[in-house]
Amino acid sequence: MTPRDTQHPAPGDLKERGQLVASLGSSLRSGATSLGTVPKLLEQLLTTGGWMDFVTRLGDHITYDAGEFPDFVETLPLQGLGADLAVVERLIGPSPDLLAIFYELTPPRERGRPKNANDVHNSSGHAAPAPDEPPAPRRQPPAGNRAEAIMRRLAKDRPDLLEEVTSGRMKAYTAAVEAGWRSPQTTIPLADPEAIARKLFAKLGTEQAQEVCSALARLVEQPSGDI
């Protein structure tokens, strides 16, 4: 971000952008989203790139680089929105085009990847485990991060499927399967053989269910040590 005092009257469009930034920031902080103005103001800033170059009410000329959108959102008024990226993302709602712009301007959320044991201390202030100690199992990233990763890829490669997800007609995982990025999966109840069969038949259909039956029959006939 580069703030500087203007020496000459700013162009009208830069002042209008500054007013837009101020109005959007004020609405976000006051929670005035029910008026329907916030998404429209946000759309104007995102589609025009107006957030990158504007003049505040105080006459300060503010500029941001393309990679500084998170800074613009989090910077206090009048030089930014004084808001949170997650709030801005929610306000975009079911708008694939705006989500695509938003994802292009923002980095993926951190997945909590462990740091090197030699470089960090834990939250209690004790030293991290010595290098010869076995590392703790890596936790899976939260489901929300996995869904976000899918939506970011959809925004880039399959905006048609992103629209299905944002409208609520399709889940992010289903869209990934539809796009061919993931294989279909299902949960099988193991307590009841009849339930297992019904679940598989519903998911696979007649032809694939018969193939599974044949594969099971071959496995049953094999000695247990050969499976």
pLDDT tens digits along 28-78 = 877 655 446 678 889 999 999 999 999 999 999 999 998 999 999 999 999
The radius of gyration computed from the CA coordinates of the chain, to the nearest angstrom, equals 26
Q: Distance (Å, rounded) from C-alpha 158 to C-alpha 196?
A: 34
Say what the pLDDT of residue 190 is.
Answer: 76
Distance CA 212, CA 9 (A): 76
For residues 21-32, give the mean pLDDT.
Answer: 82
Identify residue 75 by its one-letter amino acid code. T
Say how many Å lie between the first and final Cα of the chain, rounded. Answer: 63
The share of the chain scoring above pLDDT 70, in percent, equals: 74
- Tens of pLDDT, residue by residue over 72-110, are 999 999 999 999 998 898 888 888 989 999 999 998 866
Q: Which of 63, 50, 46, 43 lies closest to 19 in space, CA to CA?
A: 50
- Measure Cα distances from 89 to 46, 54, 175, 200 in Å: 12, 22, 19, 38
The rounded distance, in Å, linking the Cα atoms of 219 and 197 is 16
Backbone angles phi, psi at 23, to 5 degrees: -65, -45
Q: What is the pTM of this model?
A: 0.60
Q: How confident is the model at residue 127 (pLDDT cuts 50, 70, 90)?
A: very low
- Output the 3-class SS for 101-137: HHHHHCCCCCCCCCCCCCCCECCCCCECCCCCCCCCC
Contact 18, 55 (CB under 8 A): yes
pLDDT of 202 reads: 83
And the tokens for 192? 């009841």
pLDDT tens-digit readout, 185-202: 878 777 788 888 887 888
